[in-house]
Amino acid sequence: MRRIMVFDTTLRDGVHSPGVALDTEQRLQIAHRLARLGVDAIEAGFPASGPADLEAVGRIAREVRGPMIKALARARAGDVELAWQAVRDARRPAITIFVPTSDIQIEHVLGSSREDVLERTAAAIAKARSLVEEVEFSPMDATRADAGFLADVVATAIDQGASIVSVPDTVGYATPDEFGDLLRRLREAVPTLGGVVLGVHCHNDLGLAVANSLAGVLAGARSVECTVNGLGARAGNTSLEEFVMLLDTRGETLGARTGVNTAEILATSRLVSELTGYAVQYNKAIVGRNAFAHATAQAVSAVRRSPGTYEIMDPAAIGLDDRGPLLDRGSSREALRAALQTLGVAVAGSDLDAAFARFQDVAARKRHLTALDLELLVIAPLNL
């Protein structure tokens, strides 16, 4: 089976969701959780967008171990320098260069020409490659670009040292058939694509981000960019949990798998929801409150006899347990200490005082707290 890399962009594209404002500590908390989830890369932010992103990306690069740490940059020398400044302390640093490639965006976003795009791409990729081993190129709005020009700009990026080419459906316009065909034609037009990682980055404006990402994989893509809970600008991005569980559930048929630790999916989803303030809709696939809920008597009875009658995934596979309520707002300090002990966290003294204060704050707003709630809302924020 082919191993598909999961490149997470929750901390870059995901935070473009209207109203999301994460501080450095919150971003770092999510990054550590993503590393525990087992993603292959974390796109940690866009350093040129301001001091907050520059600081957050730098902290993540220094403190998070495991995934490749990427910083985004426009095809500008100053952006590339700031991206390098942010990721230079990472064990596996990378820079992603993006530039518009459709005529409508070249004219109205960049205010430039195709020739200028080619020149900017060559210069930015070459500069980034002089700083880091891994350089990703993203030809923005590729699904609406002229096919010949898209091939030219991708070939230019590879010639200058791009090691990853992630083809984006920036405005979520393509259908799966169109997107798969685009990648196949691009591979034919640019033979050097065979020597680099071909990836996809899909948006969900028509609700097709996961389907288009799958079409890209079937057309030869080796990496997929995702966000937790499908966060992102407008209608969001490819949902990490949906794409990962699609391959986990249907991998034998599709001939592909990821390296994600699926048991961490629900915890990651809840953490991101808590910190961003974006509630997960009840009927969202995989992580929604109703994803494994059954209302009819027939379904409830059947699932008790044989879960496979109505459930195509084991809830435990995403970290959903059925241990039930663990504590509530009336629980004592000793009850909290004992509950944390069962999770492998031994606390006493001032640590227990801090944990209990956090617990009381959360319990005042939440009727029951499970073991998962304790891990997300009590342990992680206090770094216990």
In this predicted model, what pLDDT tens digit does every residue of 129-173 receive, in sequence order?
A: 999 999 999 999 999 999 999 999 999 999 999 999 999 999 999
pLDDT digits (tens, 9 = 90+) for 61-117: 999 999 999 999 999 999 999 999 999 999 999 999 999 999 999 999 999 999 999
17 and 78 assigned to the same domain: yes
One domain for residues 317 and 337? no
Looking at the fold, whether 359 and 221 belong to one and the same domain comes out as no
Q: Are residues 204 and 174 in the same domain?
A: yes
Together in a domain, 123 and 15: yes
Q: Let me know whether 22 and 147 are in one domain.
A: yes
**Is residue 287 assigned to a domain?**
no
Residue 284 lies in a domain: no
Query: What pLDDT, on a 0 to 100 scale, did the predictor assign at position 165?
Result: 98
Do residues 82 and 124 lie in contact, with contact meaning Cβ atoms separated by under 8 Å? no
Residue 281 lies in a domain: no
Q: Please indicate, yes or no, whether residues 154 and 243 belong to a single structural domain of this protein.
A: yes
Q: Do residues 28 and 111 both lie within one domain?
A: yes
Q: What is the mean pLDDT of the chain?
A: 92
Query: Above 60 in pLDDT, residue 350?
Result: yes
| pLDDT confidence bin for 16, thresholds 50/70/90 | confident
pLDDT in tens, 258-299: 999 999 999 999 999 989 999 999 899 999 988 887 767 787
What is the reported pTM? 0.87
Residue 150: inside a domain: yes
Considering only residues 363 and 61, tell me which one the structure prediction assigns the higher pLDDT: 61
Q: Are residues 157 and 245 in the same domain?
A: yes
The answer to whether position 289 is within a domain reads no
Q: Is the pLDDT of residue 57 over 50?
A: yes
Residues of the chain above pLDDT 90, percent: 76
- C-alpha to C-alpha distance for 26 and 41, rounded to whole angstroms: 18
Q: How many domains does the chain have?
A: 3
pLDDT-wise least confident of 55-59, 200-204, 267-271: 267-271
Reported confidence tier of residue 331, pLDDT bands at 50, 70, 90: confident
Q: Looking at the predicted structure, is the pLDDT value of residue 26 above 80?
A: yes
The answer to whether residues 240 and 315 belong to one domain is no
- The residue behind tokens 């942010």 is 86
Residues 140 and 211 both lie in one domain? yes
3-class SS of residue 74 = strand
Confidence class of residue 211 from pLDDT cuts 50, 70 and 90? very high
**Which range marks the domain in which residue 316 is found?**
294-322
